[in-house]
Amino acid sequence: MNICMQIALLFFICLLGQCISLALPFPFPGNIIAMLILFILLLTKVIKPEKIQDFTGFLLSNMAFFFVPAGVSILESYPIMKDSLLPIFLICLLSTIITFFVTFATVKLVVTWQTKHKKTVKGE
Amino acid sequence: MQEVIESPLFSIAITITGYEIGKWLNKKTNNPLLNPILFDICFVILIMQLLDISLETYNIGGSVINMLLAPATAALAVLMYNQLDALKKNMLPVFIGTSVGALSAMTSIFLMCKLFGLDENITLSLLPKSVTTPIAIEISAQLGGIIPITVAAAVFTGIMGMIICPIFIKLFHMKESVSVGIALGTCSHVSGTSKAVEIGELEGAMAGLSIGFAGIFTVIFSLFFL
């Protein structure tokens, strides 16, 4: 697929995601639906990943760049957050640490349970 | 001169320039605090102040870049598909780990926001900040949060995770590859994943998968915060 076709295909998938998002009775972001559609298309081999890799490779390797304009808009919202900078900093820091340990402990539990489970199955 | 500044090409060109300088500086100094995104945001704001460009004018070109967030988010599917084998082998740990992780992130953020008595708007902007920025932006918009605050918090969370988590991993001798990978990807998305890749291949694959799944679970859980 040439690069223009790849761009068009991805844009169509995003638009389809937005259509579905509008039709749903509850709010669910269109871009996430588009991600799920593309994942299903890849799983079912309708699209081969190498067919779209020029465009997806470009998007994935420059991901951070695309949200710079959203970040620049901080100019507008800075007055709202300027009195809460310290709490926001602490919340970011602490929630990251909490999430890290909770996730680590959860996965460890699941893996330990799975290994035990497999052993008992094999033992029978 | 005014016409030149108002051309969408101008904002796109300065944004790319700032990003490339930021990437170069980040590589040169190897300092995670010198993040290309943060640098670029400051660079663009500086140029806007110097040339007296309004946010509205910047966004003529900025919105073109912003538009590409949609296909970039969709492209995360390719990232998940590339780790399909790793996913098949660790389906249960990935699912349970990322869902419990996403829930603990949102709950801890929510409780701390209440504790500090933050505005409703700021709380809603911070809730999705543990997941990858393009997904966090979508959730924030859906919840009625302030998107730039979400972007800043998500980027900052990534940097925090990247700096602090490796210290914990060493300190507590965390050796379980699957657990370390999923924890890194869930708590600090792409930045955490880049650290996980440095630790090992399985860690990297697990972290990469966790970006997508933690994102999806956070979208689902945020339905209940509306």
Asked if B101 and B183 count as a contact pair (C-beta separation under 8 A), the reply is: yes
Which chain A residue has the Cα nearest residue B166? A100
Residue B125's closest CA among A34, A91, A102, A100?
Answer: A91
Residue A94 sits in the same domain as residue A66: no
Residue A51 sits in the same domain as residue A102: no
**Which residues on B lie below 8 Å from A110 (Cβ)?**
92-93, 96-97
- A55 in B contact zone (CB under 8 Å): yes
- Number of structural domains in chain A: 2
Confidence of residue B171 (pLDDT cuts 50, 70, 90): very high
- B111 in A contact zone (CB under 8 Å): no
Range of the domain at A37: 1-71
Domain end (from A32, A52, A71): A71
Q: Work out the average pLDDT over B146-155.
A: 92
Domain residue spans of chain B: 2-67, 73-225
- Report CB contact under 8 Å: A60, B45: no
Burial string for A58-86 (b: 16+ CB within 10 Å, else e) reads bbbeebbbbbbbbbbbbbebeebbeebee
Residue A65 sits in the same domain as residue A78: no
What is the distance, to the nearest Å, from the Cα of residue B102 to the centroid of all Cα atoms in its chain?
Answer: 14
Residue A106 sits in the same domain as residue A84: yes
- Residue A77 CA to residue B147 CA, distance in Å, equals 9
Asked if B99 and B218 count as a contact pair (C-beta separation under 8 A), the reply is: no
pLDDT digits (tens, 9 = 90+) for A42-83: 999 999 999 999 999 999 888 888 889 988 988 888 888 888
Alpha helices in chain A (DSSP H): 3-23, 30-43, 53-61, 68-72, 74-81, 85-123
- Phi, psi dihedrals of residue B193, rounded to the nearest 5°: -65, -40
Domain end (from A71, A98, A114): A71
Residue A47 sits in the same domain as residue A78: no
pLDDT digits (tens, 9 = 90+) for B37-93: 889 999 999 999 999 999 999 999 999 999 998 999 899 899 889 999 989 999 999
- Residue B26 CA to residue B33 CA, distance in Å, equals 8
Higher pLDDT among residues A74 and B28, named by residue = B28
**Which residues on B lie below 8 Å from A36 (Cβ)?**
77, 216
Q: How far apart are the first and last CA of chain A?
A: 53
Residue A15 sits in the same domain as residue A51: yes
Domain end (from A71, A86, A108): A71
Within 153-172 of B, beta carbons closer than 8 Å to A belong to: 153, 155-157, 160-161, 164-165, 168
Q: How far apart are the first and last CA of chain B?
A: 46
